[in-house]
Amino acid sequence: MTPSLAACFFLVCVAPQGSHASTLLPKPAITPDDAVGIAKEFVDDPTARLGTPELVVVGMPRRVFYGFSGITGGTHDVAVNASTGRLGSVTWMARMFTARRAAPAGRKITDSEAVAAARTFLASRHIDLAGLADRVSSTYSQREGAVTVYFAKLSDSGVCLNEAAVEVSAANGDIVMYRADSCEPTVSTTPGVTREQVEQTCRALLRQELSKVRIDLQLDQDTLGDQRLSYLCHLHGPVEVTGPDGAKTTRDILTVMSVDAGSGEVLTFGGDWRLRGLTPPLTRPVPTSPRVVFRGEQIWLFKPPVVRGANVLLSKLLFEGLGAKIAFDEASGELVLEKAEDPIVCKVGSLDATQDGDPFQLPVPPEVVNGHPYLPVVLVTRLLGMPVRWDAEKDRLYIDCEGRPEPE
C-alpha cells in the first residue's frame, strides 16, 4: 500500500458533528440477522454457513462491527459495520491458505490481470468503481502469494476519501480478501500551508540534516470522529550519531512528523532514533497534550483536555461522546447539559451553576478554546456518574477506570 493510501485506510463514514453517532459508547443500528444477510449477499457462496455475529468495538474512531466466521472449516472471516450496514472486510480463509502455499512457485498472473479480476469482483457486487477510479495501484507479496489492488477516490487536493482493497491470488486469480473504508469530510480538505512550508518547518525543528523527504496529505479522525487535515512528513538519511557507549557511527535515521495542514503547527514527532537509544534530535520541544484514559483504554483526541492549575476542562465533544447532550448558546455563553434527568446549567466565564434548579459552585469556569466550549471535568461525575481522576505527574486523566489495569 502506498503511504497516502495507508494513511487513509483507517477512515470510516462518520455522522455530521452535530449528531451523537460518533460516541465512545456506540450502539448498533442494524441487527445481527441484518449483518448475516449483508454478509451472505456479498460473499455469494451457497455453501457458506456463517456463524453467529459477535459485536465488537474497535479502532480509532471507535467503530462497532459484527464480526463472525464461517463454521464449516473457518472458510470466511467477515466484519460488517454495525452503524452503517456496510461490509468492511471479508477474508476467504481457504483461498488465502492456498495462495500462500502456491507462493514459492511464483506468480501466474500479471498486475493488469489482477486489476481486471478485482474490477470484476467489485462490479459484480454493485460497488461504484467510478468513484474509486482516481487512483489504482497494485503490490505483490511473495510471502502472501497475492497481488493486492487498491482503488481510491481522492479529493481535489489529493486526500484519500474512499478506498477498496482486493487481494487476488497470484497463482489462480481467486479473490482471497476484500476490505473497504470511506470518509465523508466534515472539515476542509484544502490545505492552508504548502508542502515546501511544511518541509521548512520540519527541518527547522531538527538538529540533523536529513537528505530525503516524503510528505503526504491526509485526513485524520480521532476516537470521537473529529477530523483534522494534516501533513505526514518523513525525513531520513545517513547521519553521524553517538551511541550509548560513546562511540560514533553513521546510521540511516528516519524521523516522522505530523503537521497541521491549516496552521503549519507541528503536532507529533517520532522516529526510529527512539529504537536506537538516541537523544531526540530536536532544536526545541514539541508541545504535548494531556491524555485521556476511558475505562482502561487510552483514547485519541484532537481536542485534548485543558489544564488550569489543579483543574481540568474537557471539550463539549468529549462530554457528548460520554453520553451527555449539550446545548450551547454562543451569544449568552449558557450551556445546558442533560442526561436522563437533573439537567445542569452553567455559563462561560462563571463559577455559578445549577443542577435541576439547585445552585452549586464550579471549581473553574467553563471557557471557549479555539472556538469550542470546554467544561470542568467534575461535571462528568456530577451528570454522568463516572468517577474521574487527574494524575498531574503522568499528565493523564482517568475516566471510569476503577478496577481496570493501566493501559500499555
Q: Among 54-68, 239-253, 317-331, which is the least confidently predicted range? A: 54-68
Q: Tell me if 283 is assigned to some domain.
A: no
Same domain, 255 and 298: no
pLDDT at 167 over 90: yes
C-alpha span between 187 and 262 (Å, rounded): 11
pLDDT at 33 over 70: yes
- Out of 207, 238, 271, pick the residue that ends a domain: 271
CB 66 within 8 A of CB 48: no
Q: Tell me if 171 is assigned to some domain.
A: yes
Q: Supply the pLDDT for residue 74.
A: 60
pLDDT at 21 over 60: no
Q: Tell me if 355 is assigned to some domain.
A: yes
- What percentage of the chain reaches a pLDDT higher than 70? 87
Q: Supply the pLDDT for residue 164.
A: 93
C-alpha span between 392 and 388 (Å, rounded): 13
Same domain, 211 and 333: no
Same domain, 99 and 146: yes
Same domain, 211 and 317: no
Burial of 256 per CB tally in 10 Å (0-12, 13-18, 19+)? middle
Looking at the 3D structure of the chain, how many domains does it have?
A: 3
Calculate the alpha carbon distances from 408 to 25, 241, 293, 296, 297 in Å. Answer: 21, 29, 11, 10, 9
Q: Tell me if 9 is assigned to some domain.
A: yes
Same domain, 54 and 156: yes
The answer for 139, left when phi > 0, alpha when psi is -120 to 50, beta otherwise, is beta
What DSSP line would sit under 341-371, residue for residue?
SS-EEEETT--EEEETTEEEE-SS--EEETT
Same domain, 297 and 394: yes
Instruction: Give the CATH number, domain containing residue 242.
Output: 3.10.450.40
Instruction: Give the CATH number, domain containing residue 327.
Output: 3.30.457.10
Question: What are 234-257's pLDDT values in tens digits?
Answer: 999 888 777 677 788 888 888 999
Same domain, 155 and 12: yes
Q: Tell me if 285 is assigned to some domain.
A: no
Same domain, 154 and 297: no
pLDDT band at 178 (very low <50, low <70, confident <90, very high): very high
pLDDT at 19 over 50: no
pLDDT band at 53 (very low <50, low <70, confident <90, very high): confident
Q: Supply the pLDDT for residue 76.
A: 81
Question: What are 117-135's pLDDT values in tens digits?
Answer: 999 999 888 788 888 888 8
Provide mean pLDDT across the span 95-103: 84
Q: Supply the pLDDT for residue 251.
A: 80
Provide mean pLDDT across the span 225-229: 91
Same domain, 74 and 160: yes
Same domain, 17 and 158: yes
Provide mean pLDDT across the span 66-84: 73
pLDDT band at 70 (very low <50, low <70, confident <90, very high): low
State how beta strands 352-355 and 344-347 pair: antiparallel
Q: Tell me if 276 is assigned to some domain.
A: no
Same domain, 162 and 207: no
Q: Tell me if 190 is assigned to some domain.
A: no
Same domain, 220 and 343: no
Q: Supply the pLDDT for residue 383.
A: 94
Q: Among 48-57, 177-186, 212-221, 363-372, which is the least confidently predicted range? A: 48-57
- Out of 161, 182, 203, pick the residue that ends a domain: 182
CB 63 within 8 A of CB 94: no
Q: Tell me if 304 is assigned to some domain.
A: yes
- Out of 153, 182, 211, pick the residue that ends a domain: 182
pLDDT at 111 over 60: yes
Averaged confidence pLDDT in the chain:
85
* 166 closest CA partner among 108, 89, 78, 109: 89
Domain that holds residue 227: 195-271
- What percentage of the chain reaches a pLDDT higher than 90? 46
